[in-house]
Chains A and B, each alone.
Chain A
Amino acid sequence: MLLALNTSISFVTNTNWQSYAGETTLSFLVQMAGLTVQNFLSAATGIAVLLAVIRGLTRKSTSYIGNFWTDATRSVLYILLPLSLLFAIFLAGQGVVQTFHPYVTATTLNGTEQVIPLGPVSSQIAIKQLGTNGGGFFNANSAHPFENPTPFSNFIEMLAILLIPSSLTFMYGRLIGSGRQGWTIFLVMLTLLLSGLAVSYYSEFNYSKSDGLNLIMEGKEARFGPGNSVLWSVITTSTSNGSVNTMMDSLTPLAGMVGMFNIMLGEVIFGGVGSGMYGMILFIILTVFIAGLMVGRSPEFLGKKIEAFEVRMAIVAILSPNLVILMFSAFGSIITPGISSLNNPGPHGLSEILYCFSSAAGNNGSSFAGLNANTPFYNILTGTGMIIGRFGVMIPLLAIAGNMAEKKITPSSDGTFRTDTWMFGLLLIAVILIVGGLTFFPALSLGPLVEHLLLIK
């Protein structure tokens, strides 16, 4: 019951946290009609909310910011369905299974019987990646050869994760009538992504040297190797996707921390479909408010004044997921139902709990799988966390959009604080890192950071 509730919340909120193994738990019908449909709708919802927010910024003196059904339907029909079809056919061509045939029973070389699960996989994988959902058909997700058979499929699946979230920055630029703004945001996201990647790579390849080993292969799929595994881990955590081709739990402490931190920053480094971009707008509002004052004007974004209401809502939206991560993790790390799920003692155990609630609140869905999350405690708390993480951001942001739509637009001049320059980009990065860093530094320092320091000693 609790698991079903948790799973439903998980797919509705674009999280795709999976406390179950798809191939042993769910029927084809549930996978296709239940989960895949939600994969489309939750992604379309993200785009629809983003469009409403953009209209709030561009329209003036009105209280209308668009129609959800129109936007959601168009997103599904014109973007998600055609792209999914294309990717599904391509992935099937690479060897991802797509069949209604029952599971195959095979006799292995040493004589035992093995059940090999099959199913309509390719169609689900395409939208799972494109819609930044991340819920795999199989428990092993994209580490499974039937979900991700070749290096080329691996590349295409990573591309699919980034495709829509990064395109949305340009859509945003076009809709607000300034391509530069779109580019600025794209570059901010790219910079953050590459910085995380650099730390992860450094960490993964540096430990190996100190251990006298060639490569750290625990938890990694031999077909992909550390390079592709780490790249995927960074992409999937920054985009709120949550699909994996490696065991996140086995990453080196710093690489694991990068993943966790990507989520903690609010899933705005490209982020989820729609949600990444609208989450970024939240940080833009915050940056404009803090730094905008320094040019001697009351802060304005795209000609609209940022006032008490916007600040209050932005704070609520930034606070909601952070509240879940910190409070729920703190709770989990002191009570028995929380600790008893742990597979690892010491700081890594704390990392597992932190990652679990970060993933839920950030609507990511990946996990440090050493933690047994299929317990009543975790099912209830992650379920609640996913709802707060999704709607605690979405609702205040829509309130901002509605309020902004009613405002007048001040034409820009030389005295206006510009949001399309490299300086603004740097400021935005600083605000994102400082807000995230200051909130989570104590927790992270007692989890992955201390684990890292213990390891290098």
Chain B
Amino acid sequence: MLMESRQKKEINLFTGRIIITAFRESFIKLSPVKLVRNPVMFIVFTGAVISTLVFIKNLLAGHFSGFELQISIWLWFTVLFANFSEAIAEGRGKAQAESLKKSKINIKAIRLSSGREEFVLATELKKGDLVVCSAGSIIPSDGEVVEGIASVDESAITGESAPVIRESGGDRSAVTGGTKVISDRIVIKITAEQGSTFLDHMIALVEGAKRQKTPNEIALTILLSGLTVIFFMAVVTLPAFFSYSLDSSGLPKEMNLSLPVLISLLVCLIPTTIGGLLSAIGISGMDRLLQKNVIATSGKAVEAAGDVDVLLLDKTGTITLGNRMATDFIPAEGVSAEEFADAAQLSSLADETPEGRSIVVFAKEKYNLRGRTLNSAETVMIKFTAKTRISGIDIRLPDGKIKCYRKGASESIKKFIEDNDGFFPQNVKETVTRLATQGATPLVVADNNKVLGVINLKDIVKGGIKSRFEQLRTMGIRTVMITGDNPLTAAAIAAEAGVDDFMAEARPEDKLSRIRIEQANGHLVGMIGDGTNDAPALAQADVGIAMNTGTQAAREAGNMVDLDSNPTKLIEVVETGKQLLMTRGALTTFSIANDVAKYFAIIPALALPLYTSAGKPGPLSALNVMHLATPESAILSAVVFNALIIIALIPLALKGVRYRPLPAERVLGENILIYGAGGLISPFIGIKLIDILLNSLHLV
């Protein structure tokens, strides 16, 4: 189900429209006001401007320099490529925001004012207004159901087409503006002002309008600026050393390094790769979460997710299948096992819930009862409804008698039987109580007024969850299971699932205090929750993910919302956070390691005329290990490589460095090998190839 919804939402990044928009955006982003936020790229921009001016000045003086022209062009490309990476990272979010905006326009609402119904535009609604929504109408704004029950299609927000139930009271009362009521009629109390609804927030978030630099991004920007200052010093002092060397070699001062050459050296040395891709990495981190149907309210939360080392997980839905499964049939006295299994299966045929299906499957597997063809003329399916809380089947037998199989919670069945003048046997009652105290869920099956037996529904630990927890452990993350079960049941499930710790009979305030204790010990805590009573804990946790099915309070307290309402998401969120940080580290390392090769390309080229004797090239040409053809081609190749590597790494920045759940040591080792050693070697090859190409095209 999850996979389907994800595929549905996938917007391909490299579609024509996004690329064209990104292309246009790269030029719009050339505005110095925007560029100044990124010191590294601002330096490149300034360099491009200066080198272009130098070219124009020389051109006006009658000296056309193809070298200066090409340097200027490639410097502009460097800035444009960086802008392009950011624009394309924003592209998907923008496309998504547009489709969200469409679901906002022209919604009409029926407002209840002093008992009368009146038509108003959704934009006129205020907090506290009561509106009526009936089948087929769009919910005008965020609110809480105060009256009625309805099924709602939330696919506009979640991408999930299966409708969900929303009812007044309890934890399923929140509705979101822009979603559609499919059945019944509900009265909603508006809880959000216009402009600050969930949909508005979502649009702002995916558009990146509210994007702020995250703490780690700020620190990294400082580091990159610091490196830029260091390289600026190294470059700005070079003409002085060069002038001294020219003097010593008996050469005229006019041969000193030109501005475009110095700018080229500077741009090659400052960390443009990571500087150019930094914001794309951040945006795509949030974007990847969005693809997993999780909305983070800030990039900070995504980053914090990578640091989480304690996960509080609700048992139900995360560790165990949210749905209990039939594990046992216990017939009442005087009923044979086969007879009861048959009745249990028949009564569940109309029950489409996972529990119901599990009963059919269990009967088939254990008692070899195949699903049978039932003549529809002779049977009446009784569907499960929220009101009756009973499902079943009426079968007209050939002798004209009608068998009324019913299945439901013991209270409901008891009522059903007593309505049919039957009685509820004591031993069945005892069985029900016994199973209930073991943490299981007993269901009772009846035929007309006779109780046939009890179906035992139990928690089933999810397949594969144990190895997932093992992976988390190797990543250094501790898992704590939270459950309302009694300690014995909790311990049994905890052991089966392989969690590190559990909290039994946990009340909401216990969750909160547990989070506080973990945090006081220096841990970062992630949790996922839905109910209103989870809100304080969600707010306290470093990463709090609210389920979209949850209450408005919970959604506001957390810093992420999971649209699929799938509790296992927490683990994926943590992985995305880690991936984001790894990508930044890997590209920083790569960027710095690149500089070694660039020095070996540029310095020998610059120093070629120094200390020459008898027409031989200067002694420093010994450093030209790549054997680049000419000084001009060496410098130009380095600049071209520096620009192209940004483009080449855009997919990596957007997809993120490959993530595998391994201990830190191994992850580090692999990344150093790929991005450290790779960053050291690859530019030697790249620059050499570009040099060959430039020379064969006679561009220099």
**Footprint of B on A, CB under 8 Å?**
60, 286, 289-299, 303, 306-308, 310-312, 315, 318-319, 322-323, 326-327, 329-331, 333-334, 339, 345-347, 349-350, 408-411, 413-418, 421, 423, 427, 430, 434-435, 437-443, 445-447, 449-450, 453-454, 457
CB-based contact A423/B668 at 8 Å: yes
B642 within 8 A of A: no
What distance in Å separates the Cβ of B593 from its nearest Cβ neighbour in chain A? 8
Other than the given A312-B222, A318-B226, 17 more pairs (CB < 8 A) read: A296-B577, A296-B581, A296-B664, A307-B215, A311-B219, A311-B223, A318-B230, A322-B233, A333-B241, A333-B243, A411-B523, A413-B478, A442-B238, A449-B620, A450-B620, A453-B619, A453-B622
Residue on B nearest A454 in the bound complex, by CB:
B619
CB-based contact A331/B240 at 8 Å: yes
Chain B neighbourhood of A411, CB < 8 A: 521-523
Q: Bits for B217-239, please: 1 = Cβ < 8 Å to A, else 0.
A: 01110110110011101111110
Give the size range of B's interface with the partner: 35 or more
**Among candidates B309, B522, B596, residue contacting A409 with C-beta atoms closer than 8 Å:** B522
CB-based contact A442/B676 at 8 Å: no
CB-based contact A297/B223 at 8 Å: no
Chain B neighbourhood of A298, CB < 8 A: 215-216, 303, 306-307, 581
Chain A neighbourhood of B219, CB < 8 A: 289, 306-308, 310-311
A298 to B235, CA, bound (A): 32
Chain A neighbourhood of B663, CB < 8 A: 414-415
Interface-side segment among B22-30, B95-103, B603-611: B603-611
28 contacts between A and B (CB under 8 A): A289-B220, A291-B585, A291-B668, A294-B585, A296-B578, A296-B659, A297-B578, A307-B215, A312-B226, A318-B230, A319-B230, A322-B230, A329-B237, A330-B240, A331-B240, A339-B244, A346-B611, A350-B244, A410-B524, A414-B664, A417-B664, A434-B595, A434-B596, A435-B230, A439-B230, A443-B241, A449-B620, A453-B622
Tell me whether chain A's interface is mostly helix, strand or loop, or mixed: helix
**Among candidates A294, A303, A308, residue contacting B667 with C-beta atoms closer than 8 Å:** A294
Known A-B contacts A289-B219, A443-B237, A446-B610; A345 and B667 likewise in contact (beta carbons under 8 Å)? no
B474 within 8 A of A: yes
Q: Bits for B286-310, please: 1 = Cβ < 8 Å to A, else 0.
A: 0000000000000000010011010
A113 to B585, CA, bound (A): 70
A295 to B579, CA, bound (A): 9
A438 to B591, CA, bound (A): 13
Chain A neighbourhood of B225, CB < 8 A: 315
CB-based contact B672/A440 at 8 Å: no
A286 to B230, CA, bound (A): 14
CB-based contact B233/A439 at 8 Å: yes
Residue on A nearest B577 in the bound complex, by CB:
A296
CB-based contact B476/A327 at 8 Å: no
B365 within 8 A of A: no
**Among candidates A326, A331, A415, A449, residue contacting B475 with C-beta atoms closer than 8 Å:** A415
**Among candidates B234, B593, B611, residue contacting A440 with C-beta atoms closer than 8 Å:** B234
B669 within 8 A of A: yes
**Among candidates A311, A446, A457, residue contacting B222 with C-beta atoms closer than 8 Å:** A311
A289 to B225, CA, bound (A): 14
B245 within 8 A of A: yes
What distance in Å separates the Cβ of B277 from its nearest Cβ neighbour in chain A? 14
Known A-B contacts A311-B226, A415-B663, A440-B234; A294 and B242 likewise in contact (beta carbons under 8 Å)? no
CB-based contact A427/B672 at 8 Å: yes
CB-based contact B665/A418 at 8 Å: yes
**Among candidates B233, B473, B582, residue contacting A296 with C-beta atoms closer than 8 Å:** B582
What distance in Å separates the Cβ of B311 from its nearest Cβ neighbour in chain A? 12
CB-based contact B523/A445 at 8 Å: no
What distance in Å separates the Cβ of B125 from its nearest Cβ neighbour in chain A? 42
CB-based contact B269/A334 at 8 Å: no
**Among candidates B234, B582, B610, B676, residue contacting A443 with C-beta atoms closer than 8 Å:** B234
Residue on B nearest A306 in the bound complex, by CB:
B219
A297 to B307, CA, bound (A): 5
A343 to B359, CA, bound (A): 98
B589 within 8 A of A: yes
**Among candidates B245, B579, B659, B669, residue contacting A350 with C-beta atoms closer than 8 Å:** B245
Q: Bits for B465-482, please: 1 = Cβ < 8 Å to A, else 0.
A: 000000001111110000
Chain A neighbourhood of B220, CB < 8 A: 289, 293, 311
What distance in Å separates the Cβ of B215 from its nearest Cβ neighbour in chain A? 6
Chain B neighbourhood of A453, CB < 8 A: 619-620, 622
**Among candidates A319, A330, A415, A440, residue contacting B229 with C-beta atoms closer than 8 Å:** A319
What distance in Å separates the Cβ of B323 from its nearest Cβ neighbour in chain A? 33
What distance in Å separates the Cβ of A59 from its nearest Cβ neighbour in chain B? 13
What distance in Å separates the Cβ of A325 from its nearest Cβ neighbour in chain B? 9
Known A-B contacts A295-B582, A417-B668; A326 and B234 likewise in contact (beta carbons under 8 Å)? yes
A286 to B619, CA, bound (A): 35
A323 to B523, CA, bound (A): 40
Chain B neighbourhood of A330, CB < 8 A: 236-237, 240-241
CB-based contact A294/B589 at 8 Å: yes
**Among candidates A347, A427, A430, residue contacting B245 with C-beta atoms closer than 8 Å:** A347
Chain A neighbourhood of B592, CB < 8 A: 290, 434, 438
**Among candidates A307, A322, A421, A442, residue contacting B603 with C-beta atoms closer than 8 Å:** A442
Chain B neighbourhood of A329, CB < 8 A: 237, 240-241
What distance in Å separates the Cβ of B188 from its nearest Cβ neighbour in chain A? 41
CB-based contact B473/A438 at 8 Å: no
Chain B neighbourhood of A415, CB < 8 A: 309, 475-477, 663-664
CB-based contact B619/A438 at 8 Å: no
B164 within 8 A of A: no
Chain A neighbourhood of B223, CB < 8 A: 286, 289-290, 311, 315
B599 within 8 A of A: yes
CB-based contact B229/A333 at 8 Å: no
A347 to B244, CA, bound (A): 9
A279 to B522, CA, bound (A): 27
**Among candidates A318, A345, A410, A440, residue contacting B309 with C-beta atoms closer than 8 Å:** A410
Residue on A nearest B521 in the bound complex, by CB:
A411
A294 to B585, CA, bound (A): 5
CB-based contact A303/B611 at 8 Å: no
Closest 6 CB pairs of A and B: A415-B476, A293-B585, A296-B578, A315-B226, A413-B476, A453-B619
B84 within 8 A of A: no
B586 within 8 A of A: yes
- A60, A323, A326, A408: which has the most chain B beta carbons within 10 Å? A326
Q: Which of B627-685 contact A (CB under 8 A)?
A: 659, 663-665, 667-669, 671-672, 675-676
What distance in Å separates the Cβ of A412 from its nearest Cβ neighbour in chain B? 8
Residue on B nearest A413 in the bound complex, by CB:
B476
B588 within 8 A of A: yes
What distance in Å separates the Cβ of A423 from its nearest Cβ neighbour in chain B? 6
Chain A neighbourhood of B242, CB < 8 A: 446
B584 within 8 A of A: yes
CB-based contact A410/B523 at 8 Å: yes
Chain B neighbourhood of A450, CB < 8 A: 245, 607, 610-611, 618-620
- B237, B245, B524, B675: which has the most chain A beta carbons within 10 Å? B237
Chain A neighbourhood of B675, CB < 8 A: 294
